[in-house]
Amino acid sequence: MCGIVGASAQRNVEPILLEGLRRLEYRGYDSAGMALVDEGVLDRVRAVGKVQALADKLEDGPRPGTLGVAHTRWATHGGVSEDNAHPHVSSDRVAVVHNGIIENFEPLQRRLAAAGYTFTSETDTEVVAHLVDSHLAESGDLSTAVRAAVSELDGAYALAVVCRDDPHTLVATRSGSPLVLGVGIGEHFVASDVAALLPVTRNFVYLEEGDLVTLTPEDYTIRDGNGAVVERPVKESGLSISATEKGGYRHFMLKEIHEQPRALAETWQGRVTARDILASSIGPTAEEIFGRVEAIHIVACGTSHHAGLVARYWIEAMSRIPCNVELASEYRYRDPVVPKNCLFVTLSQSGETADTLAALRYAKSREDGYLATLAICNKPETSLTRESDLVMMTRAGPEIGVASTKAFTTQLLCLLLLTGMLDRRPDERAALAANIRGVDTALAAVLELDEAIRKLAEEFVDKQHALFLGRGPMYPIAMEGALKLKEISYLHAEAYAAGELKHGPLALVDENMPVIAIAPNNEWLEKVKSNLQEVRARGGKLYVFADAESGLNTGPGITVLDMPHVDDILAPIAYTVPLQLLAYHVAVAKGTDVDQPRNLAKSVTVE
Ligand code: G6P
């Protein structure tokens, strides 16, 4: 999704803005731009493609500036072109960068065009630049003009605005899209993500909905949505710069796959004792709330949704509490029945996914009310964590690769912890606690298959399609495996509950259709084996991830990858890893952009 960086300093901010954009590249984008103010001049440079294309243009580009805004754009309104890239400029003096969507841009555009403004892009953002300029003509003050402009906007936005005639002031505001203020010494910054500013500051103010900040190198003032001056806490980020760097790995995705044992250990530590799983570890009220839960609604998007689908198997089997799992984009637009004492759970790596956030707000607005809301989230200080009653952080650390890996497995572990917290049987909880404490060792053993999977991946390079099969909790894992392959290798992949094979997808099976099956030695194994026979009988080529006790062996038409034995309950977490590695190695072999796959964004902050 789009990224914003802005700075007001006593030094040239061009390199700060450029480095900030590089650090936001992981979010996904298609063009980039920058506007710098210096001695009464506003210079703007924009480029389609990578931030490097912008950097190349800046080589011979504008004069240095001590004030500036920069942006990476992920197209929503208007195609990918230099004219549509941000910043958008009005009257050669106002420059605006914007994340989000302005829903009422068309009537505003008509009004501004009638007032004499010329539009040079197809974006919704350009109206903001002209709107600020028109208000500036009235008030002469940038903050006043931005406040007046945003009062006319419907939709979601984070905005950063500079003006040629006010060479030290940057004004930024948010409503529906994240924005942080970076506090330096004699310099101040804004960004849509702390990662952008880590090289220049560790001190951040997480702006709240409706906040508008006016900053200069020396000072900043925050006003809330009512225009009142407010103090917001300055928080020190615990993130190290290296946490957002590749650290010797070829891609962030590979680094993040290999970080999973450590990430999972972080997830359970402090929450699990030798004999119990502690609800109190997620807040003083959690135990009492969980004791009253009679139903659960889990809502999420993309990979996070797959984690929820696995949790349904766990929660219903162990705690006997009915659990509904739904895509946030569907949930928010229907009228779901809210059972008595229902816990509403959101899952999100970013904590800013527009549909998930909207679903949470919708749930909170329901008159028939939920018992409580719980966010399972990887990023601290997000809209989702702020607006939920309970928060369980996944603690995976920054995830930069667009395709989610460690955020997913740590979500699964959080959901397993939740399952334990909801289970009222002490012996079962104790057994689960013991299993969870072994998860990091189990994952480390799975990662040893990396090289074997790299070799296997070579067989997929010339394929166009793939089918993934699983049963029980392995069905959502098959869905996640198919999604990973689609996202980064652009192979068409679909997942089916293995029992559904004969109800349609079997028609697709021939020697050109690789079929990947996940077959741990569990209660579904014999059923899965029968489904595999159905594939073999039709000449399909099978790739099976199974443990040694499954009784499956490599032979004609079937390649078995031996997984280390893991306890049933941990199998969904363990069997995710070879599928991540498969997608990764197929993508590398095909030469795609692994960390920033085409058309995708890391954090989808628009509907
Ligand atoms: C985007 C990302 C996916 C992610 C989904 C939900 O589509 O590319 O990897 O699963 O958003 O994001 P969230 O941050 O809410 O987990």
Strand partners, 518: 545
Asked about 163 being catalytic, the answer comes back as: no
Question: Which tens digits make up the pLDDT trace of 233-261?
Answer: 999 988 877 777 888 899 999 999 999 99
Residue type, 322: P
Question: Which tens digits make up the pLDDT trace of 138-177?
Answer: 999 999 999 999 999 998 899 999 999 999 999 999 998 8
Asked about 246 being catalytic, the answer comes back as: no
* Predicted local confidence at residue 143, as pLDDT: 98
Reported as type and span, the H/E element at residue 133 is helix 126-139
Cα 243 to Cα 346: distance, rounded to the nearest angstrom: 25
Give me the catalytic one of 2, 163, 301, 342. 2
* 211 Cα: distance to centroid of ligand 1 (angstroms): 26
Question: Which tens digits make up the pLDDT trace of 13-49?
Answer: 999 999 999 999 887 789 999 999 998 899 999 999 9
Give me the mean pLDDT over the 361-384 stretch.
92
pLDDT of residue 62 exceeding 70: no
- Average pLDDT in the chain: 93
Mean pLDDT check: name the lowest of 54-58, 67-71, 598-602: 598-602
Strand partners, 161: 96, 171
- Ligand 1 binding site (Cβ under 6 Å of any ligand atom): 301-304, 348-350, 353, 356, 402, 404, 600-604
* Predicted local confidence at residue 415, as pLDDT: 98
What domains sit in the chain, N to C, each tagged with a CATH number? Answer: 3-243 (3.60.20.10), 246-424 (3.40.50.10490), 449-596 (3.40.50.10490)
- Residue 411 CA: which ligand 1 atom is closest? 16
* 603 Cα: distance to centroid of ligand 1 (angstroms): 6
* 346 Cα: distance to centroid of ligand 1 (angstroms): 12
DSSP helix/strand/coil, 470: strand
pLDDT class of 502 with cuts at 50, 70, 90 = confident
- Residue 353 CA: which ligand 1 atom is closest? 15
Sheet-wide strand order for 88-90: 88-90, 94-102, 155-163, 170-175, 212-215, 220-223, 229-230
**Residue identifier of the C-alpha nearest atom 15 of ligand 1:** 348
Burial 27-59 (b: 16+ CB within 10 A, else e): bbbbbbbbbbbbeeebbbbbbbebbeebbebbe
Cα 30 to Cα 86: distance, rounded to the nearest angstrom: 11
pTM as predicted: 0.83
* 586 Cα: distance to centroid of ligand 1 (angstroms): 21
Give me the catalytic one of 255, 484, 486, 602. 602
Question: Which tens digits make up the pLDDT trace of 543-553?
Answer: 999 998 888 88
